[in-house]
Amino acid sequence: MIAIDAVSKEFETKGGRRHLAIDDIGLAVADGEFVSILGPSGCGKSTLLYIVGGFVPPSRGSVTVGGKPVTGPGPDRGPVFQEFALFPWKTVLGNVMYGLQQQGVGRTQARERARALLAMVHLEGYESFYPKELSGGMKQRVAIARTLAYRPSILLMDEPFGALDAHTRTRLQNDLTEIWERDRKTVLFVTHSVEEAVFLSDRVVVMTRSPGRIKEIVTIDLPRPRDRVTLLLERRYQDHVVAIERMMDAQE
Amino acid sequence: MIRAGRLADTLIGLVPIALILLAWQAVHSAGLAPPALLPSPAAVFTRLAQQLGSPAYLEHAAATLYRLFAGFGLALAVGVALGVAATGSRAVGAVTGPIVRVLAPVPKIALYPAFILTLGFDDASKIAAVFVDAVFPILIATRQGTAVVEPKLAWSARAAGVSPARCLVTVVLPAALPSVLTGARIGLVISCIVVFLAEMITSTDGLGHLLVRAARNFQTVDMFVPLITISLLGLTLNAAFNALRARLLRGFPEES
Amino acid sequence: MTRLPGIPGLAPLVAFAGLLAGWEVAARGIGIDGLPPASRALAEVPGILADPESLINIGASLYRMALGFALGVAVAVPVGLMMGRSRHVAAFFNPLLMVIYPVPKAALMPIIMLWLGVGDASKTLVIFLGVSLPVVYHSYQGGRAVEEKMLWSAAAMGMGAPARLLRIVLPAALPEILVGCRTGLVLALITMVTSEMIARQSGVGNILFNSLDMAQYDTVYAMIVIIGVLGLALDAAFERLRAALVGWAEPSQALMVGTT
């Protein structure tokens, strides 16, 4: 369970002025819940995710995970970034094995688990490739496998499909739902796509433009397992998408 | 097409070198310069071939190589370690930064007399001279390279439970490898140059000493031979370095 | 981050003082053979600078250095820019430069002295060679990086090739060229000192080694300090000039390409 309590973040800009990126965010995410944070670019939604990850300290407020305050990154919270952030000097297999080996898992065991994960993200046969030889979608699959390898109970996904083309994006969304519906990790998912947020989430947090505040939290009461085609025809899905689109338009 | 272009480029590149050799031969054949001042290219290259097969000459070359690699190896170890530490620790960065800024533009070969006084006339002072000259480009390149590593790479490792110090070694340093290797290559060429100069200034062996000895005895041919040897040595080291670099960086996106 | 508040350039000054203090402590505390305390070496500096003979020597050194540097820049910048704009010119010069690169320019002194004698000409030529290489290299990089579209626009306006090189490529490549010149300046000083160490006849390097031969160790260290400060001062002065000329460009992050 993630508890975000009155978190604000200020940055110092070049001219020495202070910029309030996010203001007074309070949010509780239950175990096994899939929550999306939706907002226009520059609303600080990624910053909020980095604060939960422990990569960036908040200026005010606090975050606790499972009752313990967040003071830095930890293997209970696995990030997936829009930029993939794969290690270019390691092969696909090496990337996925890295976290396990650093945690002291033996070589053979780490390799076995890495292979299984790569199979799960449909990348069998690419183990000895370097990241630069893969397409964007494949890179993101590797990054997801790398994070899942050390079994975090929470996934922090920072616009993970934002750099991908529309087709690849849909396929990865389908795969992610499938993976998530199987083992129900807690997911905090940052995106600026309304359809993506509604399709994937249990709840959608809509944020305001700078400074980022929570505007509204929408519960997505669609049944699971979700199937894209059925959902697209479903009235309730359409209503959610339209309602949230209106909410965001109203900020302009 | 690209292959053909490369070949043409290589041929064009050989033109100036060929022209210099031709001009050299022409000046010699026309008798414009006495052989005591400018020996014929044939004489020089015959002597070079002869010397490269002579154990005595190779021993001098070995002495030079030993000093070169000892100094460069030390510079590499210290430069990389300090560069990474300066990025990893604010305190180390705050101390090394200004010191490097003060020392980098100082002509470090001028320190060589100080090394002679403190370390003696033997290998140690020459290795020290190579070290102080080669360490700065390596240190600066490592510092700059590690400072601009995409933070999300480090975050990805830290999230897997890796400690900051371990992350520095297993992620930040490898990610900065292209920059580190650029610094190392500059350091390597500098090492070549400095070891030769130090041997010219004071030495009883090594390629630089051979040049000075030949100059004292007005053996012009023997003055050219060590110079060509050091150039060949530089080219060889550079080629070996490029091969190693290509292997180490095979995962990185190509640069122009 | 770690900027000391207020006075710019304070950190290097503190570092400089710290280095001298470290030297003093090392010499007095540990007692290394052949290393006099910093204070004793520094005490020699005014004496050297007040001596007309050594001043003439230093002046002569600086004159050769300035001349070699100016000639080097005058030749190297056009060559480098043309290499940057034409693949064929680059292919023509590259292998030659690679062959020359690892040769210590000052090591050519004995041979050049045979031809040109021990006077100013030899030393200036060697300095010229030492300066040229980094300036060619950086001008080449600068010329290569010039935005193609900028040249297309100029050509569309009817500008001929030589005019484009002078009026578009040169200013666009100027920041990178100046990085090369800065390296070249340090190299000029290094080549100057080494050439005088090898051909001991006059100049700064000569004073350094004569005092070494005569076992005037305090003078040796004083000369090292003088040469070091000279390097620092030239570099700082050039950096100011660079900042004034190309303040619009990014601050120089380039590596100092070492020695000769």
Q: What is the pLDDT of residues A211-242, one digit of tens each?
A: 899 999 999 999 988 988 899 999 999 999 99
**Between B206 and C119, the higher pLDDT residue:** B206
Q: Where is average pLDDT lowest: A201-210, B120-129, C27-36, C83-92?
A: C27-36
On the question of pLDDT at A47 being above 90, the answer is yes
- To the nearest whole percent, how much of chain C has pLDDT over 90? 13
Contacts of C107 in chain B (CB under 8 A): 196-197, 200, 208, 211, 227, 230
Residue C11 lies in a domain: no
Considering CB atoms only, which of B150, B161, B251 is closest to A130? Answer: B251
Domain of C175 in residue numbering reads as: 35-245
Cβ within 8 Å of residue B127, ≥6 positions away? B67, B70, B71, B74
Statement: residue B3 has pLDDT above 70: no
- CB-nearest partner of A75 from B150, B161, B252: B161
Largest CA distance in chain C: 72
- Give B34's contacts (C-beta < 8 A, 6+ positions apart): none
Q: CA–CA separation, B88 vs B91, rounded Å?
A: 9
- Give pLDDT, residue B203: 83
For residue C44, how many other CB atoms are within 10 A of its CB?
A: 21
Q: What is the pLDDT of residue C1?
A: 37
For residue C186, tell me if it sits in a domain: yes
Q: Is B218 on the interface with A (CB under 8 A)?
A: no
Q: What is the pLDDT of residues C136-166, one digit of tens each?
A: 999 999 998 888 888 888 888 878 888 888 8
| CA pair distance A210, C212, nearest whole angstrom | 69
Predicted ipTM? 0.89
Contacts of A200 (CB under 8 A, 6+ apart): A34, A36, A173, A176, A177, A180, A187, A189
Task: Give the pLDDT confidence score for residue C248 in this predicted structure.
Answer: 66
Mean pLDDT of A27-54: 93
The reported pLDDT for the residue numbered C249 is: 64
Asked if B200 has any chain C CB less than 8 Å from its own CB, the reply is: yes
pLDDT tens digit sequence for C92-127: 998 888 888 888 888 888 888 888 887 788 889 999
Query: How far apart are the C-alpha atoms of B100 and B98, rounded to whole Å?
Result: 5
Kindly tell me if the per-residue pLDDT of A112 is higher than 90.
yes
* Chain A nearest C-alpha distance from B161 (Å): 5
Give the mean pLDDT of chain A.
93
pLDDT higher than 50, residue A33: yes
Looking at the DSSP bridge assignments, the partners of residue A190 are A37, A158
Domain CATH for C85: 1.10.3720.10
Closest chain A residue to the Cα of B162, Cα to Cα: A102
More confident residue, B3 or C253: B3
Q: Is C64 a domain residue?
A: yes
- From residue B104, give the alpha-carbon distance in Å to each of A43, B24, C100, C190: 44, 38, 24, 12
Map out the domains of chain A as residue ranges. 2-76+155-249, 86-151
Mean pLDDT for B201-218 is 90
Average pLDDT, integer, range A154-179: 93
Reported as a single tens digit per residue, the pLDDT across C179-213 is: 889 888 888 888 888 888 877 777 788 888 888 88
**Average confidence score pLDDT of chain C:** 83
Task: Confirm whether C168 is domain-assigned.
Answer: yes
Top pLDDT among B3 and B49 is at B49
User: Is residue B20 predicted with pLDDT exceeding 50?
Assistant: yes
Give chains near B: 3+ CB pairs under 8 A: A, C
Complete DSSP assignment for A160-178: TTTTS-HHHHHHHHHHHHH
- Contact residues, chain A, for B166 at CB < 8 Å: 102
What confidence tier does C6 reach under pLDDT thresholds 50, 70, 90?
very low
pLDDT confidence tier of residue C246, bands split at 50, 70 and 90: confident
> How many domains are there within chain C?
1
Helix (H) or strand (E) segment spanning residue B150: none
User: What value does the mean pLDDT take over residues B31-38?
Assistant: 81
Q: What pLDDT score does C164 carry?
A: 83
Query: Does the pLDDT at position C2 exceed 50?
Result: no
Tell me which CATH code domain B40-248 carries. 1.10.3720.10
Assigned fold of A2-76+155-249? Rossmann fold (3.40.50)
Candidates C205, C209, C191; CA nearest to B202 is C209
Q: What pairing do the DSSP bridges indicate for beta strands A154-158 and A77-81?
A: parallel
